[in-house]
Structure 1
């Protein structure tokens, strides 16, 4: 299984075949739609003229990278901040995993260790880390012992909470409903505080 998002089929294929593209999509998956976040790695490959390379992005001129992100249509609603974040993640991959995103989840002894590796990346807090862990487990077969427990509620096989649970149009609708409920609850809690 892989991701089945309502985006360009080539973008879905890239996510299925390129671990760095998948990771970049997850980096961008905040304050934009899932479709925007996970289609942007494909758009970035088009702008670069070739596949994504962590070493290249890590060493890219920061202003030039921002220009690639900001070029219409922008890859994110905050192109400057997210270009910097993607570059930080790529630098961490180069330093810790020889530039190979797949090594992030290769040969981990258990789900807790995988979550620790993910949340050590720039911009990955616990929740984002658990979502990415669930995405790897549910859609890409990365299932070290204890991965569901480490993913928390996102590891629930019946859940419709995140991009990890999107398999078709109906599951996408259920995930959107869940996110709207969470936003409404947070807004109500903030109003009462």
Structure 2
């Protein structure tokens, strides 16, 4: 086991994540206090980060909502759903773009926002609050979201349970291995710079193993 404390960079990030202002629930997904504060206080922002979390780094994906907020002046599911598609695509594509494929993600994000407005009255939390569903039902509802396949839905369910206090009956079982206590498999397990590195290492090893 390597001795010594964390690197200065890791220590700086951990400290920043521990000092998010004005929120009682803290997350450290974007590794930036203001971006993480938005994620902690807005479920659609959290959902947006989860949608963006593919083919780019985890922390960049979860910084995306704050970038949109800065450029739109507000982060609001209705505003995103109703935005002119070309203008919204330009907004998210302006360097630094929110994603490696910003045009495609702009369409996906607007489709997701429109679905949430139409089917959940703009309140994504109705997925786990309406009718007091168990974990399996919440997973089913998450999987119905545009852009959310089985794996992404399970990871988001694990994120809700592990970090957001959303724990419907049987949520760990429904989330599968992503719900395991103490795991380092996904963004659901990222609580500081150290765990981010551990999750990244796990993903790298899993990818290498899959290639044989």
Query: 1:66 aligned to 2:79?
Result: no
- How do 1:10-159 residues align onto structure 2 when only pairs under 5 Å count? 10-50=34-74, 52-107=75-130, 108-159=132-183
The alignment yields a C-alpha RMSD, in angstroms, of 1.2
- Tell me the TM-score normalized by structure 1: 0.93
Where in structure 1 are there 5+ consecutive unaligned residues? 189-193
- Tell me the TM-score normalized by structure 2: 0.85
Where in structure 2 are there 5+ consecutive unaligned residues? 1-24
Correspondence for 2:9: none
Distance 1:104 1:48 in 2: 26
Larger radius of gyration, structure 1 or 2?
Answer: 2
Change in CA separation of 1:98 and 1:6 when aligned onto 2, cut-off 3 Å? closer
Number of residue pairs aligned between Structure 1 and Structure 2: 187
Structure 1 counterpart SS, 2:125: helix
State the shift of 1:131 in Å: 0.3
